[in-house]
Amino acid sequence: MLRILKIGGNVLADPDALDQALSFFASFESPAILVHGGGREASELLKKMGHEAKMIDGRRITDAETLEVVTMVYAGLINKKLVAQLQAKNCNALGVSGADGNLIQAHKRIVKEIDYGFAGDIDAINTEGFMRLLEGGFSPVCCAITHDKQGQLLNTNADTIASSVAVALAADYEVELQYCFEKLGVLMDADDDESVIEHIDPSKYEMLKKEGVVHSGMLPKLDNAFAAIGNGVKAVYLGNLKSLGNGKATRLSL
């Protein structure tokens, strides 16, 4: 089985939680892929530079200055820190962006109602490239930067990357996709950390959206998760390290 773990911004920002997440990942039997963003750190650096981050429905507006910062933060500092920490845990990690080995090709999002700037929508996953890394004994650590193969880097949602990579590799592997964030799972009541929704199917998801239970940044995460389930990925789970480890995380199915 191929396990793909996506870690969220709150995990990245908490040294103890991050250490536990990396230990969890390092314990996987090969093969495995780690996907990360780093939005909180990027937003903090942008603020220090006097450039306020702009978000709409959980998605970042990426102007030219923001693109430079997210590339430095995602593909540079965070990615290499994760690789170094995984190496310390005897996990042979290799940090990559979508441009490395042409692993993830995308195009600049077409402007409709909202101009997202240099946001990238994925066109193709280089399955052979990922498979060569996995078969070579490496655990790819993939940041949220893609490219258009015309020299332009693009900022792509890390949840989308995790889902797209999972779908692309599902033809060759039995894939399990896990989204690791700070909560035990998707919550019925945002103020009650124990109100985990154990199972969500498409009809229940529509109901949760209509009732406003699921909103903001959780929407693209769940959209991507259901896209994966509908395209050959065996299982998708959402939760924190505790619930993912004990089987109590939210499970998605058709």
Q: How far is CA 239 from CA 5, 70, 119, 226, in A?
A: 11, 25, 26, 15
pLDDT at residue 154, rounded to an integer: 98
Q: How far is CA 119 from CA 116, 150, 159, 181, in A?
A: 6, 15, 14, 23
CA distance 85 to 106: 29
CA distance 102 to 249: 33
CA distance 201 to 222: 11
Q: How far is CA 114 from CA 55, 61, 62, 109, 117, in A?
A: 11, 9, 12, 10, 9
Domains of the chain: which residue ranges? 2-182
Q: What is the DSSP string of 32-57?
A: EEEEE--HHHHHHHHHHTT----EET
Per-residue H/E/C for 112-161: CCCCCECEEEEEEECHHHHHHHHHCCCEEEECCEEECCCCCEEECCHHHH
Q: How far is CA 182 from CA 17, 57, 222, in A?
A: 9, 19, 15
Q: What is the homologous superfamily of the domain 2-182 according to CATH? A: Acetylglutamate kinase-like (3.40.1160.10)
CA distance 128 to 81: 26
Question: How much is the pTM?
Answer: 0.92
Q: What is the mean pLDDT of each run of 10 residues along the chain (254 residues)?
A: 93 93 92 93 88 76 93 96 98 98 97 93 98 97 98 95 96 95 92 94 93 85 89 94 94 89
Tokens at 203, concatenated:
């009809």
SS3 4: strand
